[in-house]
Amino acid sequence: MTAAPSQPVDERFGLGRRVRLPAPLTLASGQNLSGLEIAYETYGTLSAAADNAILVCHALTGDQHVASLNPKTGKPGWWARLIGPGLPIDPARHFIICANVLGGCAGSTGPASPDPATGDRFAMRFPVITIQDMVAAQARLLDHLGIQTLAAVIGGSMGGMQALAWAAYHPTRVRAVIAIAAAARHSAQNIAFHEVGRQAIMADPRWQQGDYAPDQPPAAGLAVARMAAHITYLSEEGLTSRFGRQLQDRAALGFGFDADFQVESYLRHQGLSFVDRFDANSYLYITRAMDYFDLAEPHGGVLADAFRPAAIAGTRFVLISFTTDWLYPTPESKRIVRALHAAGAQASFVELESPYGHDAFLLEAPEMNRIVQGFLASHG
């Protein structure tokens, strides 16, 4: 039987909360993390049976502000096209939860948080974390809310990894999984791009081995890391269509190293705007967690074995990929679907046409919305 929620569940749209969970969290590394805090938002009302909860998992640079205005940037929620009144994930039907991941910098415990033992910021003394640890922290949050079983867990990119990890590590607590533009492991190419970003941050003189002052972050290094990563979120087709070789605010080449091309100016803007909302040490820790991700590794490299308990539990899956996504390309999703079928799970797969690369899952994608809505209607 599901326990009653330990606090009232408010039905206002986008209610932000922060909870401290005192019991230590044992991490995959074997270390214990005490004083865990989780920042999260909820939308809708939890049913009396606590059976209508949907957990939304965010990507690397996302946060808990999934469908309401971000108080820091003033921008709409990062998945406001998918979640909201009249949309596929509707607070009129679902109780929607989105939490800032463990290691994040939007209110959940991470490198910028104070160490309960010393009162000083963790910085690089924060323990190395994994996707499994992020999911374990989310499970603690659900326990706090009195939710034993999720109607569904959904995410794109790193959020999709978390959704798959829920099925692998908590198979009896998930009825349905929607993994979009995701993978079951990080490839050598993925790891390589992340390492470039980490090295850019650590090479910044302001990084100070992670002990930088909050008002003097390694902004230049973090901006370069964001620029390099952002390229992987796009596609050649999209970049060419949007920018081509068009010059930025000039009629001829400048014969210097200012931003001659529009695409250069765009990337610089992406880098500079990112440093205003993200912590450099969090970037190091979260990218490392993604690099460590490999659901098959604990099972001797047999991915099907990772999903077998979820198949037995009756968890249903849908995988969605995009044609121009070269960060987590379609063959990665197909590999997961083959493993799910080998495990005996009910799984479907759709590849969608899009010129926008990996970021397609965050942009206007009516076909994706229809798939999510149909899947939840039939399996919700």
**DSSP-H helix ranges across 204-329:** 219-233, 236-242, 262-275, 280-292, 303-313
d(CA 28, CA 288): 13
Q: Per residue in 113-167, pLDDT tens?
A: 999 989 999 999 999 999 999 999 999 999 999 999 999 999 999 999 999 999 9
Sign of CA dihedral 264, 78, 371, 132: positive
**DSSP-H helix ranges across 146-260:** 158-169, 188-203, 219-233, 236-242
* Res 2: pLDDT: 34
- pTM summary value: 0.94
Q: What is the largest CA-CA distance in the chain?
A: 70
Give the confidence band of 191 by pLDDT, cuts at 50, 70, 90: very high
Give the confidence band of 13 by pLDDT, cuts at 50, 70, 90: low
Given a contact cutoff of 8 angstroms between Cβ atoms, the answer to whether 335 and 344 are in contact is no
Domains of the chain: 15-187+294-379 (3.40.50.1820), 189-287 (1.10.1740.110)
Helices (H) and strands (E) in the chain, counts: 10, 10
Q: Which residues of 41-77 are buried (b: 16+ CB within 10 A; e: fewer)?
A: bbbbbbeeebbbbbbbbbbbbbbbbbbbebeeeeeeb
* Res 12: pLDDT: 45
Give the confidence band of 253 by pLDDT, cuts at 50, 70, 90: confident
Q: Per residue in 68-108, pLDDT tens?
A: 999 888 999 999 999 999 999 999 999 999 999 999 999 99
Q: In the beta sheet, which residues pair with residue 311?
A: none
Give the confidence band of 247 by pLDDT, cuts at 50, 70, 90: confident
Q: Per residue in 349-369, pLDDT tens?
A: 999 999 999 999 999 889 999
Sign of CA dihedral 278, 279, 282, 283: positive
| CA-derived radius of gyration, the chain | 20
Q: Would you name the residues annotated as active-site residues?
A: 157, 325, 358
Question: At residue 259, does pLDDT exceed 90?
Answer: no
Give the confidence band of 5 by pLDDT, cuts at 50, 70, 90: very low
* Res 246: pLDDT: 84
Long-range Cβ contacts of 213-220 (<8 Å, 24+ apart) = 214/112, 217/275, 217/279, 217/280, 218/280, 219/272, 219/275
For 321, counting Cβ atoms within 10 Å of its Cβ (0-12 exposed, 13-18 middle, 19+ buried), the class is buried
* Res 134: pLDDT: 98
Q: What percent of the chain has pLDDT over 90?
A: 84
